[in-house]
Amino acid sequence: MSIQISKLDSSQVDFKKSLDALLAFEASTDEAIERAVAGILADVKARGDAAVLEYTNRFDRIPDGGAASMAAFDIGTAELQAALAAIPAAQRSALETAAQRIRAFHERQKQELQGFRYTEADGTVLGQVITPLDRVGIYVPGGKAAYPSSVLMNAIPAHVAGVQEIIMVVPTPDGVKNQMVLAAAAIAGVTRVITIGGAQAVGALAYGTETITPVDKIVGPGNAYVAAAKRRVFGIVGIDMIAGPSEILIICDGTTDPDWVAMDLFSQAEHDELAQSILLCPDADYIAKVEASINKLLPAMPRADVIRTSLTDRGALIKVADMAEACAIANAIAAEHLEISAEDPQRWADQIRHAGAMFLGRYSSESLGDYCCGPNHVLPTSRTARFSSPLGVYDFQKRSSLIHVSEVGAQALGKVAAELAYGEGLQAHARSAELRLK
Amino acid sequence: MSIQISKLDSSQVDFKKSLDALLAFEASTDEAIERAVAGILADVKARGDAAVLEYTNRFDRIPDGGAASMAAFDIGTAELQAALAAIPAAQRSALETAAQRIRAFHERQKQELQGFRYTEADGTVLGQVITPLDRVGIYVPGGKAAYPSSVLMNAIPAHVAGVQEIIMVVPTPDGVKNQMVLAAAAIAGVTRVITIGGAQAVGALAYGTETITPVDKIVGPGNAYVAAAKRRVFGIVGIDMIAGPSEILIICDGTTDPDWVAMDLFSQAEHDELAQSILLCPDADYIAKVEASINKLLPAMPRADVIRTSLTDRGALIKVADMAEACAIANAIAAEHLEISAEDPQRWADQIRHAGAMFLGRYSSESLGDYCCGPNHVLPTSRTARFSSPLGVYDFQKRSSLIHVSEVGAQALGKVAAELAYGEGLQAHARSAELRLK
């Protein structure tokens, strides 16, 4: 049975409406989850380790009647190194190559942001100082969705930023540890690994417990409980974006092997049923070829059911007037991943204002970027690329302003400040400036 | 009656506990406000302009039976320019000087963040592209808390970033417009001014209405309704930090005129009763002098009642062992504003890891920075300087990763990506990389 994927045409009168309907996605709030998470967080805040221990033993079904103390959840350096030694050589080599490339790219981000300082004619010095966060928590999901690549992508930017303590939490349902995840932690510069998860792990990182020092920021993906917990502790600690379903948008000029484009659409669709894969192309014949490739290649995919549902419910093949219109639509979509599979892709990339990551040319499949090109795979989803950025070193740094006014400078600035302060009715502000006048 | 301000000593056994109690501040969530805001936002989303018009007429008590249409709330360029021409020359000059200095500082921020691009040996190009947001909403409170300086501090970074549309909303209770605020908008590069406010204005900016194009980010301070509305629309649009009460921390070595230090403490305390002003000093005699200055200067302050309550409830004079300990405590507090009023202040600034803005030397009163030094006065409060930064040009820009893999590059990267993808059970990712292998 061939797949029923939406086909749109930008020349249709109702195209904008159809596109809006296709893109519409609102994360629902589950009140039961909200209440459960609020309770767990309050309990962890009040009872610390005892609460974390109980929830972990229960929710993760820790064997042998559960762990007796939090110490049982700490994975020492020796165990991480053992995991690295135990995984197949090809996997280890791939992880190390990926880590080295991710590190190299993120070092460039660090170089770009050095702060600045300048001195004005009257001796006043102004500037901006960049400092790393002290302590960061990395949340890594357990079970099937445990991705070693996510360990690298979340921990390496923190390590490059100069964060001194990188605490990784990863639940181990039924006590089962993922060796590739532990190996990735060994490579990525993680300081401490604790096998806890869920809202209780988020609470422990945010509030601290007897055995866990509170962190300054929590990053990394998680299920609905983890996302709800992160939202609730935001403000006490920093958090990264709460990610929505993953998306790929491919702009193709009709000259790439259609099998490649079909497989690139699959690579997003296989993540989950809500993932979104869209093709924009000015060539109707080529779109038909991609559709034929989809139907040809799908049966052999191990995750065919997920791919089929994702493409049927949320995918689309869209005929556009020309490549310029494709770029305009791409700007409206502001996709997480944007492939520009075309001759002279830079020409079209120059017209893109909003995208999490741009993959230029036929050889830049999104999957290369997901694992080992170097740029981060944690990217803004659900049109948030309009206002936010990939995860980066800058997420583990912050700026402080530096103001050193000279005695001469205080004379000129003091009069300006006093004038404005009186205008706003803030007399102590004005007097504070005036006291420095001769 | 002399003021009852807390006096702590770091050598006391319970000092850490006392300090924690002093700093404790948890913003309470008001369920009635949450429900009201949820209703207003849903109504604005459903009914657009009609809802915004009704709420504005009612909540802001627009005279003469209210405005007949949204057009009545638009303030044209001519009216902004008229406001600029109408305010006293000294005020206009002060606003223009402040704007020019704020612009100059923020231009440095823009220069620092230019993106990068590099080519690897096999021809693969990697990079990071910086682009401005398309449209931004600036919320400016109305009534007594209408601060023209905040208009400059919020709008100028957006303008410097290259944001094409900067829409300012400002409520006008009883229809009264603040001329100095309008003058500031004229100077700051605001594109459009709409006299609406509250949750209805936040909803209009986030969802868009018949007459208002939805923006990509909303920044600027507001009351509890505005803060609740911003939290709720976060994700649909970006928002800035939800600010807590303002804070100043002064480290003084005991050689600054105590009147200056007292007035600097006042300048924070006068904001509101919850504002926090703290002095750290190794010299007990000097602390006594500052206390005497406080009692001497307070009666003459127009906002003496607010200052008294703030200093009594949340202020403190803290005796420390030495300047190094003062810096360590300052790092734990991570203050919004940190004055280092001392000889060789840079020596101590080098020990500071966490602060929104550092004011070095005796002449750098916080009030100069609030108005006209150049750095932004929108700063992280409530210890969030541990993980966040002053408002800046970077808040109106975002990054996109750029990945252009060469044919040769795809051979090496494809094998690495496929190895890791198979390890994670994502076969379409692996196949997508492998299709590019020769």
Residue B27 — very low, low, confident or very high, per pLDDT cuts 50/70/90?
low
How high does pLDDT run on average in chain A? 96
- Give me the pLDDT at residue A215, please: 98
Per-residue pLDDT tens for B99-113?
A: 999 999 999 999 999
**Residue of A108, A180, A257 lying closest to B118 (CB–CB):** A108
pLDDT at residue B31, as a whole number: 86
Query: Can you give the residue ranges of every domain in chain A?
Result: 6-27+244-373, 31-239, 405-435
Distance CA B158, CA B135 (A): 9
* pLDDT one-digit tens code per residue, B203-237: 999 999 999 999 999 999 998 999 999 989 998 99
Residue ranges of the annotated binding site of B are 139, 200, 223, 246, 268, 271, 337, 370, 424, 429
- The answer to whether domain A6-27+244-373 and domain A31-239 are alike in fold is yes
CA gyration radius for chain B? 26
Residues 50-79 of A with CB under 8 A from B: none
**pLDDT grade for A269, boundaries at 50, 70 and 90:** very high
Question: Residue-wise over B257-291: b if at least 16 C-beta within 10 A, else e?
Answer: ebbbbbbbbbbbbbbebbbbbbbbbbeeebbebbb
The complex scores an ipTM of 0.96
CA distances from A398 to A168, A233, A302, A393 (A): 21, 19, 44, 10
Q: CB contact, 8 Å: A259 with chain B?
A: yes
Question: Minimal Cα–Cα distance from B400 to chain A, Å?
Answer: 5
> What phi and psi, each to the nearest 5 degrees, are found at residue B297?
-85, -25
Q: Which two tokens stand for residue B340?
A: 């280092």
Sign of the torsion formed by the C-alpha atoms of B247, B251, B254 and B256:
negative
Instruction: Tell whether the model's pLDDT for residue B124 goes beyond 80.
Output: yes
Q: What percent of chain B has pLDDT over 70?
A: 99
* Contact between A273 and A302 (Cβ < 8 Å): no
For residue A239, the cross-strand partners are A218
CA atoms within 13 A on the CB side of B406: 11
Q: How confident is the model at residue B2 (pLDDT cuts 50, 70, 90)?
A: confident
What pLDDT sits at residue A27?
A: 67
The neighbour count for residue B86, using CB atoms within 10 Å, is 12
- Chain A residues touching B357 at Cβ < 8 A: 400-403
Which pLDDT band, with edges at 50, 70 and 90, does B325 fall under?
Answer: very high
The pLDDT, as a whole number, for residue B235 is: 87
DSSP symbols for B29-48: P-HHHHHHHHHHHHHHHHHT
Query: Mean pLDDT, to the nearest integer, of A283-289?
Result: 98
Which of A184, A25, A242 has its CA nearest to residue B424? Answer: A184
Cα angle B18-B21-B23, degrees, rounded to a multiple of 5? 110
Calpha distance B57→B60 (Å, rounded): 6
CB contact under 8 A, B126 and A375: yes
Q: Which of residues 291-310 of B touch A (CB under 8 A)?
A: 301-303, 307
Instruction: With H, G, I as helix, E, B as strand and everything else as coil, classify residue B368.
Output: helix
The per-residue pLDDT of chain B, averaged, comes to: 96
Looking at residue A250, its pLDDT comes to 98
Average pLDDT rounded to a whole number, residues A113-117: 95
What is the pTM for the complete model shown? 0.96
Mark residue A105 as left, alpha or beta (left: phi above 0; alpha: psi -120 to 50; beta: remaining): alpha
CA separation for the pair A356, B12 (Å, rounded): 52
Neighbours of B75 (CB within 10 A): 21
- Count CB atoms within 10 A of the CB of residue A89: 7
B6-27+244-373: CATH, from 3.40.50.1980, 1.10.10.10, 3.40.50.2300, 3.60.10.10: 3.40.50.1980
Task: Identify whether A336 is a catalytic site residue.
Answer: yes
pLDDT at residue B8, as a whole number: 97
**Minimum CA–CA partner of B95 in chain A:** A420
Residue in the block written with tokens 């108005």: B371
| CATH class name, domain A31-239 | alpha beta
Which residues have a Cβ under 8 Å from the Cβ of B277 and sit 6 or more positions away? B247, B248, B250, B265, B266, B268, B269, B310, B311, B314, B315
The helix-helix angle for B89-112 and B148-161 (nearest 10°) equals: 30
Pairing state between β B125-132 and B116-119: antiparallel
* Chain CA centroid to CA B258, Å: 30
A389·B399 Cβ contact <8 A: yes
pLDDT of residue A242: 80
Nearest to B248 by CA among B276, B214, B273: B276
